Structure 1
């Protein structure tokens, strides 16, 4: 039996509208939030695009979480988290950032419950439907009031960026890079592609990923061990001369 796709989408769980939420008691709201699933179906999101897609997302999340972990503005960073806007079809962007909220672990983001929507979203592409990201999501994310939207096309080594010209605007303007970098007003970071790899910059400082920081610490430790060994050798030579 062939199902109508639009009808299937309409029966997926949605958060209450603003009017419905306002009419609920605290206990009713808690029950609703608890009942909303912490996952989306394959019908609602693109199929997995393999290791290149997964790696690109994990690297970006790692860099951003490391950046916001330092004593600075609070931010929640996540990937593929189910998002529930009031009365809207749910979605799960590849990456998302919400500012000025507690960065504790979550299974979903319910806008009415959290008190605010997403500030920054990125979709990562290795294959799949680029038209959807470039056209459909640009309209939808702007309508929802998401301040910035980035599209990272790893397969084509291409980065696109969009911004709402004001918090009340509901149509994006396309951002233009300067010297190959896009400046995100939301993140207060610059984004740039090095080959096909996405990098984040805070001014002139490159945001290192955990693996890179581990490699640097390992290199520093190795140098220090070599220095100590050389000092020990020198000490032994001096002691031998004094005998």
Structure 2
């Protein structure tokens, strides 16, 4: 079962150590996974930080999901999902990504059960004490082996990015921006703070969230409709012009026939008069 103790931070549920996990049979492992809670307590979470925290998290998650869905890559993306590393106190990062795994819905991520840990984590900081995100998590996420850790500080509108220098390393190196952008080697994307927004780039392409894509598609649809309406109007005008031209030619042909008929009558009358005068 998940270990429970009685005081301090050790009072919170933890997954078994890897040694304990490996000593279990399949049924016991299943019972352990089932027993680990799929939520965290208020004592373990930062205080709620309002719309700016929520919107930044949800928008980034939406952009990432849309991008990887378009790429048809298997990437599991989660938000505030309880994560259990062997023998470690559980945590629930604002955003997380694990590459090349099944994308079914989860209530928690148990590393021993899933067979792998997280590949990328982002915390969104708005107010209050920065120590949890900027100090404690920097140490903890490096210790458990998460390759990349991003901190989006909305109060200061800046990013802090950390990366393990090599597999097996237990201490992060700070990543510097290049022309204002921070590269995620894990996700293959670039991140940039522009004004009040965190923007994501795939090469030179700015990634958009679903609502923005809907607006862009609507604008494109309206532009196509305007072009179609203009083409229909042009074709109608061309058809009308051709019809008027055809009517004009028919009228000219009728008048010519009438003139020719009248000339024939006059010629016949002239011939008749000349014949009488002989």
Q: TM-score, normalised by structure 1?
A: 0.94
What is aligned with 2:259?
A: none
CA distance in 1, matches of 2:79, 2:164: 22
Q: How does 1:3-22 map to 2 (within 5 A)?
A: 7-22=7-22
CA distance in 1, matches of 2:139, 2:74: 28
Structure 2: state its 5+ residue gaps: 1-5, 245-278
Structure 1: state its 5+ residue gaps: 1-5
CA distance in 2, matches of 1:17, 1:155: 38
Larger proportion of helix: 2
What is aligned with 2:130?
A: 130
Q: Does 2:20 align with 1:23?
A: no
CA distance in 2, matches of 1:11, 1:113: 22
What is aligned with 1:190?
A: 190
Aligned residues: 238
CA distances 1:204-223 after superposition (whole Å, capped 9, x unpaired): 11112111111111001101
- SS of the residue aligned with 1:43? helix
Checking the alignment, whether the CA contact within 8 Å between 1:21 and 1:112 is kept in structure 2 is: yes
User: 1:238: how far off?
Assistant: 2.9
What is aligned with 1:144?
A: 144
CA distance in 2, matches of 1:179, 1:8: 44
What is aligned with 2:121?
A: 121
What is aligned with 1:43?
A: 43
User: 1:128: how far off?
Assistant: 2.3
User: 1:179: how far off?
Assistant: 0.4
CA distances 1:9-44 after superposition (whole Å, capped 9, x unpaired): 322211111111111110110111111111001100
Q: TM-score, normalised by structure 2?
A: 0.82
Checking the alignment, whether the CA contact within 8 Å between 1:155 and 1:196 is kept in structure 2 is: no
Which range moves more in the overlay, 125-134 or 68-77? 68-77
- SS of the residue aligned with 2:43? coil
CA distances 1:127-176 after superposition (whole Å, capped 9, x unpaired): 12212211111011110101011100112111100000011100001000
User: 1:68: how far off?
Assistant: 1.4
What is aligned with 1:167?
A: 167
- SS of the residue aligned with 2:42? coil
Query: RMSD across aligned C-alpha pairs, in angstroms?
Result: 1.4
Q: Does 2:78 align with 1:82?
A: no
User: 1:232: how far off?
Assistant: 2.2
CA distance in 2, matches of 1:235, 1:70: 38
CA distance in 2, matches of 1:236, 1:135: 70
CA distance in 2, matches of 1:100, 1:167: 18
User: 1:240: how far off?
Assistant: 3.2
Q: How does 1:26-105 map to 2 (within 5 A)?
A: 26-71=26-71, 73-105=73-105
